[in-house]
Amino acid sequence: MAAVFFDLDGTLLDTVPDIQSALNRALADCGFSPVSYEETVSYVGNGARRLVERAAPAGDHEKLLALFAAYYNASESVLTLPYAGMQELLAWLKARGVKLAVVTNKLQPSTEKLMARFYPGIFDFIGGDDGSFPCKPDPSLTRYAALTMRVPLGKSIFVGDGETDVVTALNAGMVPVSVLWGYRKREVLEAAGARRFARDPQELREILSELL
Protein backbone atom coordinates (compact mmCIF):
# COMPACT_ATOMS: atom_id res chain seq x y z
CA MET A 1 0.00 0.00 0.00
CA ALA A 2 1.25 3.45 -0.94
CA ALA A 3 -1.00 5.82 1.00
CA VAL A 4 -3.43 6.09 3.89
CA PHE A 5 -6.33 8.54 3.70
CA PHE A 6 -8.06 9.72 6.88
CA ASP A 7 -11.43 11.19 7.65
CA LEU A 8 -11.28 14.02 10.20
CA ASP A 9 -14.37 14.31 12.43
CA GLY A 10 -14.65 11.25 14.65
CA THR A 11 -11.43 9.77 13.28
CA LEU A 12 -8.56 12.19 13.91
CA LEU A 13 -10.35 14.66 16.17
CA ASP A 14 -13.38 14.77 18.45
CA THR A 15 -14.93 17.92 17.01
CA VAL A 16 -18.64 17.60 17.85
CA PRO A 17 -18.65 19.87 20.95
CA ASP A 18 -17.41 22.83 18.90
CA ILE A 19 -19.66 21.95 15.96
CA GLN A 20 -22.63 21.86 18.35
CA SER A 21 -21.69 25.24 19.81
CA ALA A 22 -21.44 26.96 16.41
CA LEU A 23 -24.59 25.25 15.14
CA ASN A 24 -26.63 26.31 18.17
CA ARG A 25 -25.46 29.91 17.75
CA ALA A 26 -26.67 29.83 14.13
CA LEU A 27 -29.95 28.19 15.10
CA ALA A 28 -30.57 30.77 17.85
CA ASP A 29 -29.98 33.62 15.40
CA CYS A 30 -32.70 32.16 13.20
CA GLY A 31 -35.17 31.47 16.02
CA PHE A 32 -34.73 27.71 16.25
CA SER A 33 -34.30 25.53 19.32
CA PRO A 34 -30.81 24.24 20.18
CA VAL A 35 -29.74 20.69 19.38
CA SER A 36 -28.22 18.25 21.84
CA TYR A 37 -24.81 16.60 21.66
CA GLU A 38 -26.45 13.32 20.64
CA GLU A 39 -28.44 15.01 17.90
CA THR A 40 -25.32 16.74 16.60
CA VAL A 41 -23.48 13.41 16.48
CA SER A 42 -26.27 11.96 14.36
CA TYR A 43 -26.26 14.97 12.02
CA VAL A 44 -22.53 15.14 11.20
CA GLY A 45 -20.78 13.23 8.44
CA ASN A 46 -22.18 14.63 5.21
CA GLY A 47 -20.97 18.20 5.25
CA ALA A 48 -22.16 21.53 6.67
CA ARG A 49 -25.15 21.89 4.37
CA ARG A 50 -26.64 18.55 5.39
CA LEU A 51 -25.85 19.41 9.01
CA VAL A 52 -28.02 22.54 8.99
CA GLU A 53 -30.72 20.84 6.92
CA ARG A 54 -30.98 18.09 9.51
CA ALA A 55 -30.90 20.50 12.44
CA ALA A 56 -33.68 22.73 11.03
CA PRO A 57 -35.60 21.03 8.19
CA ALA A 58 -37.95 24.01 7.81
CA GLY A 59 -35.29 26.70 8.11
CA ASP A 60 -33.62 29.03 5.66
CA HIS A 61 -30.72 26.73 4.92
CA GLU A 62 -28.64 29.26 3.04
CA LYS A 63 -28.77 31.68 5.96
CA LEU A 64 -28.13 28.93 8.49
CA LEU A 65 -25.21 27.61 6.48
CA ALA A 66 -23.64 31.06 6.20
CA LEU A 67 -24.03 31.69 9.92
CA PHE A 68 -22.74 28.28 10.93
CA ALA A 69 -19.74 28.58 8.61
CA ALA A 70 -18.92 32.05 9.97
CA TYR A 71 -19.15 30.93 13.59
CA TYR A 72 -17.32 27.66 13.13
CA ASN A 73 -14.53 28.96 10.88
CA ALA A 74 -13.88 31.79 13.36
CA SER A 75 -13.93 29.46 16.34
CA GLU A 76 -10.77 28.66 18.31
CA SER A 77 -12.10 25.09 18.69
CA VAL A 78 -11.31 25.05 22.40
CA LEU A 79 -13.46 21.95 22.95
CA THR A 80 -11.89 19.91 20.12
CA LEU A 81 -9.39 17.21 21.07
CA PRO A 82 -7.26 14.67 19.20
CA TYR A 83 -7.99 11.03 19.92
CA ALA A 84 -5.33 9.56 22.20
CA GLY A 85 -2.72 7.65 20.24
CA MET A 86 -3.43 9.14 16.82
CA GLN A 87 -0.46 11.50 16.79
CA GLU A 88 1.85 8.57 17.51
CA LEU A 89 0.18 6.45 14.84
CA LEU A 90 0.62 9.16 12.20
CA ALA A 91 4.26 9.66 13.17
CA TRP A 92 4.80 5.91 12.74
CA LEU A 93 3.22 5.96 9.28
CA LYS A 94 5.22 9.04 8.31
CA ALA A 95 8.45 7.35 9.40
CA ARG A 96 7.63 4.42 7.11
CA GLY A 97 7.39 6.76 4.13
CA VAL A 98 3.63 6.28 3.66
CA LYS A 99 1.82 9.15 1.95
CA LEU A 100 -0.90 10.63 4.18
CA ALA A 101 -4.06 12.53 3.27
CA VAL A 102 -7.06 14.04 5.01
CA VAL A 103 -10.28 13.91 3.00
CA THR A 104 -13.23 15.32 4.91
CA ASN A 105 -16.62 16.94 4.37
CA LYS A 106 -15.68 19.63 6.89
CA LEU A 107 -15.36 23.18 5.55
CA GLN A 108 -11.89 23.81 4.13
CA PRO A 109 -10.91 26.78 6.33
CA SER A 110 -11.71 24.83 9.50
CA THR A 111 -9.95 21.75 8.15
CA GLU A 112 -6.74 23.64 7.47
CA LYS A 113 -6.84 25.42 10.83
CA LEU A 114 -7.37 22.19 12.78
CA MET A 115 -4.64 20.30 10.93
CA ALA A 116 -2.17 23.14 11.50
CA ARG A 117 -3.00 23.12 15.19
CA PHE A 118 -3.12 19.40 15.96
CA TYR A 119 -1.17 17.66 13.18
CA PRO A 120 1.27 20.21 11.70
CA GLY A 121 3.50 19.03 8.89
CA ILE A 122 2.09 15.50 8.88
CA PHE A 123 -0.22 15.30 5.88
CA ASP A 124 0.78 15.41 2.22
CA PHE A 125 -2.76 16.44 1.20
CA ILE A 126 -5.46 18.23 3.20
CA GLY A 127 -8.84 18.36 1.51
CA GLY A 128 -12.13 19.65 2.88
CA ASP A 129 -15.26 21.17 1.40
CA ASP A 130 -14.40 24.34 -0.54
CA GLY A 131 -17.15 23.87 -3.11
CA SER A 132 -14.85 22.41 -5.77
CA PHE A 133 -16.02 18.80 -5.37
CA PRO A 134 -19.16 17.04 -4.17
CA CYS A 135 -19.02 15.82 -0.59
CA LYS A 136 -18.25 12.22 0.28
CA PRO A 137 -19.35 9.54 -0.49
CA ASP A 138 -18.69 10.96 -3.94
CA PRO A 139 -15.07 9.90 -4.57
CA SER A 140 -14.02 12.93 -6.63
CA LEU A 141 -11.97 14.68 -3.94
CA THR A 142 -10.40 11.37 -2.95
CA ARG A 143 -9.37 10.75 -6.55
CA TYR A 144 -7.99 14.26 -6.81
CA ALA A 145 -5.96 13.71 -3.65
CA ALA A 146 -4.51 10.50 -5.08
CA LEU A 147 -3.58 12.27 -8.31
CA THR A 148 -1.98 15.12 -6.38
CA MET A 149 0.10 12.72 -4.29
CA ARG A 150 0.76 10.46 -7.29
CA VAL A 151 -0.44 7.32 -5.56
CA PRO A 152 -2.69 4.60 -7.03
CA LEU A 153 -6.12 4.33 -5.47
CA GLY A 154 -5.92 0.56 -5.67
CA LYS A 155 -2.94 0.66 -3.32
CA SER A 156 -4.45 3.07 -0.81
CA ILE A 157 -6.40 2.70 2.42
CA PHE A 158 -9.22 4.91 3.66
CA VAL A 159 -9.63 5.15 7.45
CA GLY A 160 -12.82 6.65 8.85
CA ASP A 161 -15.49 6.37 11.50
CA GLY A 162 -18.55 6.72 9.29
CA GLU A 163 -20.55 4.85 6.70
CA THR A 164 -19.78 7.73 4.34
CA ASP A 165 -16.09 6.86 4.56
CA VAL A 166 -16.72 3.19 3.82
CA VAL A 167 -18.75 4.00 0.73
CA THR A 168 -16.20 6.59 -0.41
CA ALA A 169 -13.43 4.01 -0.18
CA LEU A 170 -15.42 1.42 -2.09
CA ASN A 171 -16.47 3.97 -4.72
CA ALA A 172 -12.82 4.92 -5.23
CA GLY A 173 -11.52 1.35 -5.32
CA MET A 174 -9.69 1.66 -2.01
CA VAL A 175 -9.46 -0.55 1.07
CA PRO A 176 -11.78 0.74 3.83
CA VAL A 177 -10.82 0.46 7.50
CA SER A 178 -13.38 1.60 10.07
CA VAL A 179 -12.61 2.96 13.52
CA LEU A 180 -15.06 2.41 16.37
CA TRP A 181 -14.15 5.36 18.61
CA GLY A 182 -16.03 7.89 16.46
CA TYR A 183 -19.64 8.79 15.79
CA ARG A 184 -21.13 5.65 14.22
CA LYS A 185 -21.95 2.20 15.56
CA ARG A 186 -20.43 -0.96 14.15
CA GLU A 187 -23.72 -2.23 12.70
CA VAL A 188 -24.09 0.97 10.66
CA LEU A 189 -20.58 0.53 9.28
CA GLU A 190 -21.15 -3.14 8.52
CA ALA A 191 -24.33 -2.29 6.62
CA ALA A 192 -22.26 0.09 4.47
CA GLY A 193 -19.79 -2.67 3.61
CA ALA A 194 -17.10 -2.35 6.29
CA ARG A 195 -15.15 -5.51 7.11
CA ARG A 196 -12.11 -4.26 9.06
CA PHE A 197 -12.59 -2.56 12.42
CA ALA A 198 -10.24 -0.93 14.92
CA ARG A 199 -11.31 -0.30 18.49
CA ASP A 200 -8.35 1.95 19.26
CA PRO A 201 -5.28 3.39 17.50
CA GLN A 202 -3.11 0.46 18.57
CA GLU A 203 -5.49 -1.97 16.87
CA LEU A 204 -5.56 0.32 13.85
CA ARG A 205 -1.76 0.18 13.73
CA GLU A 206 -1.90 -3.63 13.73
CA ILE A 207 -4.40 -3.63 10.86
CA LEU A 208 -2.34 -1.15 8.87
CA SER A 209 0.82 -3.16 9.53
CA GLU A 210 -0.82 -6.17 7.89
CA LEU A 211 -2.06 -4.18 4.91
CA LEU A 212 1.09 -2.15 4.36
Question: pLDDT tens for residues 111-149?
Answer: 999 999 999 999 999 999 999 999 999 999 999 999 999
Pairing status of strand 156-160 against strand 13-14: unpaired
Structure confidence at residue 57 (pLDDT): 94
Structure confidence at residue 50 (pLDDT): 95
Under DSSP, the state recorded for 132 is S
Amino acid of residue 149: M
Confidence class of residue 85 from pLDDT cuts 50, 70 and 90? very high
Q: Which CATH superfamily is domain 3-14+80-211 in?
A: HAD superfamily/HAD-like (3.40.50.1000)
What is the pLDDT of the chain when averaged over all its residues?
96
Question: pLDDT tens for residues 178-199?
Answer: 999 999 999 999 999 999 999 9
Q: What radius of gyration do the chain's Cα atoms show? A: 16
pLDDT more than 90, % of the chain:
97
Question: pLDDT tens for residues 2-13?
Answer: 899 999 999 999
Structure confidence at residue 212 (pLDDT): 87
Does residue 161 have an active-site annotation?
A: no
Catalytic residue among 7, 9, 18, 161: 7
Name the pTM for this structure: 0.94
Assigned CATH for 16-74: 1.10.150
- Domain residue ranges in the chain: 3-14+80-211, 16-74
Partner residues linked to 197 by β-bridges: 178
Confidence class of residue 1 from pLDDT cuts 50, 70 and 90? confident
Question: pLDDT tens for residues 195-207?
Answer: 999 999 999 999 9
- Return the closest-CA partner of residue 110 out of 162, 51, 185, 32: 51
The 3-class secondary structure across 2-63, one letter per residue, is CEEEECCECCCEECHHHHHHHHHHHHHHCCCCCCCHHHHHHHCCCCHHHHHHHHCCCCCHHH
